[in-house]
Amino acid sequence: MSVSHHLDDATLLSHAAGTLPRTLALVVDAHLEMCPHCRAALKAANAIGGALLSDLSPAPVSSSLKDAVMGRIGSATIHRLPRAQAARQGGVPLALQRVLRLDSLDDIPWRKSAPGVHIHKLPKEAGEAGFFGLLKIAPGAAMPEHGHGGSELTLILQGAYHDELGHFGEGDIADHDESVDHTPVAEGEQPCICLVATQAPTRFRSWPARVMQKFIGI
């Protein structure tokens, strides 16, 4: 897998700061699993947080709190070794497994939404707007109009497409502000499966998200 479309630096900084909405953060985590480039960039962003932390004037911490922590560490379980690297079984990143609860993309209970378009919604929490779920788009599915909207992340889990922003294949993330004007073309034989999170019910930019909007009316 050779990832060529990465996270926007602003997305990366917000993720490091821990302020991305949960659904977007989960798509970012899934991309990070697949992308050493963005993992390295995230470390630099975390270091900015570390520098700001070290610069803060200390706030008083009660001695009883320190005593409580010193008491609790006696019985705390030590994390000895890093977990083995996530087995991305069946093409499902770890971050996604935790909400999908399936080991394989093959096991997803797709719901047909339109010719060539299947959808599987993921659970949202109270107060979360926008779309959060998986899309499966057959090669040759129709191309809806383009638009501008709020935050939107689309991670390609399987298959590929290309538009004027380039080739999007497995592991690539569409995280851009620009609208897309040209007709995108699905590549290869297999359907394109994407993980999509949007922040607001609005008009989307990436091809899979626009396909979704056209057919599902989100």
Partner 1 sequence: MDEQRLNHLMRQVAQNLDRAAFAELFDILAPRVKASLMKAGLDSATADDVLQDAMISVWTKAGLFDPARGGVFSWVFTIARNARIDRARRAKPLAPLDLMDWEPADEADTSEEQMVKASETEILRQALLTIAPEQKEIIELAFVQELTQAEIASRLGLPLGTVKSRMRLAYAHLKKFLEQKS
Which residues would be at the binding site for Zn ion (CB under 5 A)?
Answer: 6, 35, 37-38
Residue 101 in contact with partner 1, rule: CB under 8 A: no
Residue 185 in contact with residue 198, Cβ under 8 Å?
no
Residue 202 interacts with, from partner 1, Zn ion, none (CB under 5-8 Å by kind): none
Residue 86 interacts with, from partner 1, Zn ion, none (CB under 5-8 Å by kind): partner 1
Residues 170-199 that bind partner 1 (CB under 8 A): 177, 199
Task: Choose, by CB under 8 A, the member of 4, 36, 101, 111 that binds partner 1.
Answer: 36
Residue 76 interacts with, from partner 1, Zn ion, none (CB under 5-8 Å by kind): partner 1
Minimum distance from residue 34 beta carbon to partner 1 (Å): 12
Residues 6+ apart with CB under 8 A from 148: 179, 203, 205
Minimum distance from residue 161 beta carbon to partner 1 (Å): 25
Residue 156 in contact with residue 172, Cβ under 8 Å?
yes
Residue 25 in contact with partner 1, rule: CB under 8 A: yes
Q: What share of the chain is helix, strand, coil (3-state, %, to 5)?
A: 35, 20, 45
Residue 125 in contact with residue 113, Cβ under 8 Å?
no
- Of 40, 11, 43, the residue nearest 27 (C-alpha): 11
For residues 12 and 30, give the distance between their C-alpha atoms in angstroms, rounded to a whole number: 13
For the window 45-74, what string marks contact with partner 1 as x by the rule CB under 8 A? xxxxxxxxxxxxxxxxxx--xx-xxx-xx-
